[in-house]
């Protein structure tokens, strides 16, 4: 399965302050890039084991059927689409993504991928970042055929973009096996620096492709997910090595995004460091109405953290009481809380403003 991971707690936004384009608050297009946390079903169209296409995935959707999302219901992009008053983004590979549906945006994410091309190699046929960007270019020419070059450009510039990637570069690469190739090549601090420098290239590429409002998420509490507790830390304490990786990575990501903003000139930096919230979320699940943050709702073995979520797995009766739906991915309810923090977070979590404030601001910058 998609051991592609990771709760995204630290959310950074990168966007241009001054816009000369006409942007509407509602109906804004939405583009999504990244891994299983944000894949709306692309992998269902691929020959890969990294997929969420069997029950009980999707059990809490109206149809109660799997949708390709790694959730019991909605994922992070779905809640953002709700906030944009849009329909959910279709997977780019969906045959339904045609005609007017192109105006909603598109989801290019693919479970299992990472910043690096060699991340998730065990999943074989997945859409790596460079390929997601090629599809984005292809999308833009299809859009231009539909509404014309200028309008297409305006739509892309005015769109909200979400990118969630990086967790797999740790769990499905550096720490996948003892003495992995990358861990022999780099010590952890050097590996983190390498990832950050490759990530900055990805963000600049997005900018070149016309993205002007980009939410960038950091890695979550890598060492605290049920899968890692089961494999590395049976006592139930978050695994210190993976937590060290996240602690090195997240601040450098923030710094890098900051740097790109100043490099690009007239940018305003929108960042959320929800580190404190994270700690609360994991250590005081009760404060958020959860009964556990250690045990996955769907899975088997210790903490339900082992193997896949399948019809044969244990399944909890009340999904809303669980932070984690499967061994790696948040439940629908947890995803909603994460997006709430992105939208409404106070200044200490989203700086200099939250996404709601930003979207409202943005809608008034019409010329």
Ligand X SMILES: *[C@@H]1O[C@H](CO)[C@@H](O)[C@H](O)[C@H]1NC(C)=O
Q: Count of CB atoms within 10 A of residue 320's CB? A: 17
Told to check if 346 binds ligand X by CB under 6 A, we report yes
Residue 35 among the catalytic residues: no
Residues in the chain: 367
Residue holding tokens 């779905």? 78
> Nearest-CA neighbor of 262 among 1, 6, 16?
16
With CB under 6 A as the contact rule, the residue among 98, 117, 237, 276 that binds ligand X is: 117
Give per-residue burial for 97-135: e unless 16+ CB within 10 Å, then b.
beeeebebbbbbbbbbbbbbeebbbebeebbbbeebbeb
Q: Could you give the string, one character per residue 126-145, with x where binding to ligand X holds by CB under 6 A and - elsewhere?
A: ----x---------------
H/E element holding 158? Answer: helix 149-158
Please state, in angstroms and as integers, the Cα–Cα distance from residue 171 to each residue in 166, 242, 338, following that order: 9, 8, 21
Told to check if 198 binds ligand X by CB under 6 A, we report yes
**How many alpha carbons lie under 13 Å from residue 281 in its C-beta half-sphere?**
25
| Residue 236: strand, helix, or coil | coil
Q: How far is the CB of 130 from ligand X (least distance, A)?
A: 4
Residue 329 among the catalytic residues: yes
Q: How far is the CB of 115 from ligand X (least distance, A)?
A: 7
Q: Could you give the string, one character per residue 158-177, with x where binding to ligand X holds by CB under 6 A and - elsewhere?
A: --------------------
Stretch that binds ligand X, among 3-11, 186-194, 254-262, 342-350 (CB under 6 A): 342-350
With CB under 6 A as the contact rule, the residue among 142, 205, 244, 344 that binds ligand X is: 344
- Contact criterion met (CB below 8 Å) for 361 and 352: no
Which residues make beta-bridge pairs with 271?
Answer: 12, 351
> Nearest-CA neighbor of 91 among 42, 124, 54?
42
Backbone angles phi, psi at 94, to 5 degrees: -70, 135
Q: Count of CB atoms within 10 A of residue 263's CB? A: 10
Torsion of CA 219, 221, 227, 230, to 10 degrees: 150
- Which of 3, 8, 36, 86 is labelled catalytic? 36
Nearer to ligand X, 101 or 344 (CB): 344
Told to check if 351 binds ligand X by CB under 6 A, we report no
Q: How far is the CB of 362 from ligand X (least distance, A)?
A: 13
Stretch that binds ligand X, among 171-179, 244-252, 310-318, 339-347 (CB under 6 A): 339-347
Stretch that binds ligand X, among 52-60, 65-73, 245-253, 341-349 (CB under 6 A): 341-349
Stretch that binds ligand X, among 56-64, 259-267, 281-289, 344-352 (CB under 6 A): 344-352
Q: Could you give the string, one character per residue 298-327, with x where binding to ligand X holds by CB under 6 A and - elsewhere?
A: ------------------------------
Told to check if 197 binds ligand X by CB under 6 A, we report no
State the Cα–Cα distance between residues 175 and 172, nearest whole angstrom. Answer: 7
Q: How far is the CB of 347 from ligand X (least distance, A)?
A: 4
State the Cα–Cα distance between residues 273 and 310, nearest whole angstrom. Answer: 34
- Contact criterion met (CB below 8 Å) for 155 and 209: no
Nearer to ligand X, 20 or 276 (CB): 276
Told to check if 291 binds ligand X by CB under 6 A, we report no
Told to check if 356 binds ligand X by CB under 6 A, we report yes
> Residue 56, preceding bond cis, omega within 30 degrees?
yes
Told to check if 241 binds ligand X by CB under 6 A, we report no
H/E element holding 15? Answer: strand 11-16
With CB under 6 A as the contact rule, the residue among 32, 46, 116, 256 that binds ligand X is: 116
- Which of 169, 326, 349, 362 is labelled catalytic? 326
Residue 326 among the catalytic residues: yes
Q: How far is the CB of 360 from ligand X (least distance, A)?
A: 8
Q: How far is the CB of 305 from ligand X (least distance, A)?
A: 30
Catalytic residues: 36, 326, 329
- Give the footprint of ligand X on this chain (CB under 6 A): 116-117, 130, 198, 344, 346-347, 353-354, 356-357
């Amino acid at each position: 399965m998609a051991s592609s991971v990771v709760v995204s707690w630290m959310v950074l936004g990168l966007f241009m302050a001054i816009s000369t384009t006409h942007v509407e608050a509602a109906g804004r297009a939405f583009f999504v890039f990244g891994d299983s946390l944000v894949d709306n079903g692309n992998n269902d169209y691929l020959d890969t084991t990294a997929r969420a296409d069997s029950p009980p995935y999707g059990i809490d959707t109206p149809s109660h059927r799997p949708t390709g999302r790694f959730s019991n219901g909605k994922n992070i992009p779905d809640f953002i689409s709700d906030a944009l008053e849009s329909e959910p983004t279709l997977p780019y590979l969906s045959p339904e993504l045609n005609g007017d549906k192109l105006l909603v945006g598109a989801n290019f994410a693919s479970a299992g991928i990472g910043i690096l091309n060699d991340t998730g190699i065990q999943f074989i046929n997945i859409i790596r970042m460079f390929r997601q960007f090629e599809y984005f270019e292809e999308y833009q020419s299809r859009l231009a055929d539909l509404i014309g070059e200028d309008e297409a450009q305006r739509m892309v510039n005015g769109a909200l973009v979400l990118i969630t990637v990086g967790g797999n570069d740790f769990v499905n690469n550096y720490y996948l096996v003892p003495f992995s190739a990358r861990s022999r090549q780099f010590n952890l601090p050097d590996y983190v620096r390498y990832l950050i420098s490759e990530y900055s290239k990805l963000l600049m590429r997005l900018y070149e492709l016309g993205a002007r409002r980009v939410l960038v998420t950091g890695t979550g509490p890598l060492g605290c997910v049920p899968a890692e507790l089961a494999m590395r830390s049976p006592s139930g304490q978050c695994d210190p090595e993976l937590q060290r990786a996240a602690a090195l990575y997240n601040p450098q990501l923030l710094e890098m995004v900051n740097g790109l903003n100043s490099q690009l000139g007239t940018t305003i930096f929108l960042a959320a460091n929800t580190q404190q919230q994270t700690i609360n979320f994991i250590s005081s699940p009760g404060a958020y109405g959860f009964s556990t943050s250690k045990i996955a709702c769907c899975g088997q073995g210790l903490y339900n953290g082992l193997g896949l979520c399948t019809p044969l797995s244990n399944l909890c009766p009340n999904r809303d009481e669980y932070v984690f739906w499967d061994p790696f991915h948040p439940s629908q309810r947890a995803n909603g809380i994460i997006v709430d923090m992105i939208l409404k977070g106070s200044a200490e979590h989203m700086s200099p403003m939250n996404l709601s404030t930003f979207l409202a601001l943005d809608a008034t910058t019409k010329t």
